[in-house]
Structure 1
């Protein structure tokens, strides 16, 4: 019972913080996912250190340099949206990222105990997997006002709509997959990675996610997006969200841990909460910029 109340309380706080950050202003959206990236990238490094002990040997310069570069990458995706007295946040982020990414290998050679391209590769994959993905999500939020809705551009369209839809579709897919899997699931989906997932649950969750999006989009949502966009975004969230969950489960299994972190009582770490979004976001970004701009 205590565990139930702990999980419920932390879930309510999580939802409140997420909705506040997403809906309040563009800057709170950026700040929310800037912080999520900051903690998620560190959880990734922890998993890699457990998977490959050689990663423990990276220098402090490498460890903190990658963290700074990670934060700078997310900043770079803000472009000209937030302007300080000196320069835009995007400009500062871009040049900070470039400088650290160029100087980082040199520092590793000079300061590391043993220079290892493998360790640099682990760090580069983390930046691509986490920081670039969150940067693309921030870009979706800031560029949504340029999307053509129902044949015309509407500057008043809420920029948070598409990021929030992605998150909602992922939640619907996960919930439906759990319910269907519990009721009729018999065939293991990827037993070596996630033994509890079933093919019936995963496929059923995807189908119902797209169906819910289609029904809502048809009856109530066409004032914001054409029906085909509701269906496409739901399909992207369901398919690549499921793949993202499996990818992070594979990393945890290789590391021999149940959760990526314990920042959220009863719910694991930041990677556990955003693993689906990390893989769905790049494909949603490609779709939006290819078919909706």
Structure 2
């Protein structure tokens, strides 16, 4: 019972922080995912150190430099949205990222006792896997107000920047919740027993169908002024399919690292990667779809 109340309380706090950050202003949206990226990246590095102890031998310069480069990359995705005079956060982040990504390998060669291309590869994968994903999510939010989308019979529409990221998160949540419920009721066939023994094919397919159905209902009754029905359904499909792959990917990393959770920031719910594993992989695909297929 105590565990239930702990999980419930931490979940409510998590939802309150998420909604405040996403809905309050574009800057709080950016700040929220800037911090999520920072802590999720550190959890990724911890997993990699458990998987390959050699990664623990990287120099302090390497560890600090990768985090600085990650923060700078996130800043670069803001473009000209947060500017004072002739200087913007995006411009500043872009140049800091270039400088650190150029000098980081040089510093690794000069300052590490044992130079390892493998360790550089681990760090680069973290930037690609986590930082670029959250950067694209921020870019999607900040540019949605200024991008025109095809909106079917309603013509061309724009919407609040948080709309697509928030709906993407909701579609992922519906998929996960419905997959659990359907799997508990009728699940019989294991989906990926070597990675996630509790997932079933019936639950996975059921969650995807219900997430797409929910997107269809939203698109038909409320969302058509911004995106046409088929776009909402495709986004939900991406959230379900790619989000499930993201969940399995993080589960594989944790299994290889020999840990149950990526962190313990949320009592009863794990770490940042545990909470955002599906979004990490779904965000780039959503960005690609919106910018190359949903734009007018």
TM-score by length of 1: 0.97
| 1:243 alignment counterpart | 245
| 1:169 alignment counterpart | 171
**Structure 2 residue matching 1:196: 3-state secondary structure:** strand
Aligned equivalent of 1:264, options 251, 263, 266: 266
| 2:92 alignment counterpart | 92
How far has the Cα of 1:224 moved from its partner?
A: 2.7
Indicate yes or no: 2:222 matched with 1:229. no
- For 1:208 and 1:89, locate their aligned partners in 2 and report how far apart those are by CA, in whole Å: 40
How far has the Cα of 1:36 moved from its partner?
A: 0.2
How far has the Cα of 1:150 moved from its partner?
A: 2.3
Deviations 1:17-39 (A, max 9, x none): 00000001100000000000010
Indicate yes or no: 2:106 matched with 1:111. no
| 1:71 alignment counterpart | 71
- For 2:175 and 2:210, locate their aligned partners in 1 and report how far apart those are by CA, in whole Å: 7
**Structure 2 residue matching 1:222: 3-state secondary structure:** helix
Between 1:7-16 and 1:85-94, the stretch displaced more is: 85-94
Structure 1 unmatched ranges of 5 or more: none
| 1:56 alignment counterpart | 56
Indicate yes or no: 2:137 matched with 1:137. yes
Quickly say closer, same or farther: Cα 1:149–1:19, change in 2 above 3 A: farther
| 2:149 alignment counterpart | 148
- For 2:149 and 2:248, locate their aligned partners in 1 and report how far apart those are by CA, in whole Å: 34
- For 2:91 and 2:225, locate their aligned partners in 1 and report how far apart those are by CA, in whole Å: 35
Indicate yes or no: 2:47 matched with 1:8. no
Quote the RMSD (CA, aligned, Å): 1.1
How far has the Cα of 1:154 moved from its partner?
A: 4.5
Structure 2 unmatched ranges of 5 or more: none
**Structure 2 residue matching 1:79: 3-state secondary structure:** coil
Question: Deviation above 4 Å: which 4+ runs of structure 1?
Answer: 151-155
Asked if the contact 2:156/2:226 (under 8 Å) is kept, the reply is no
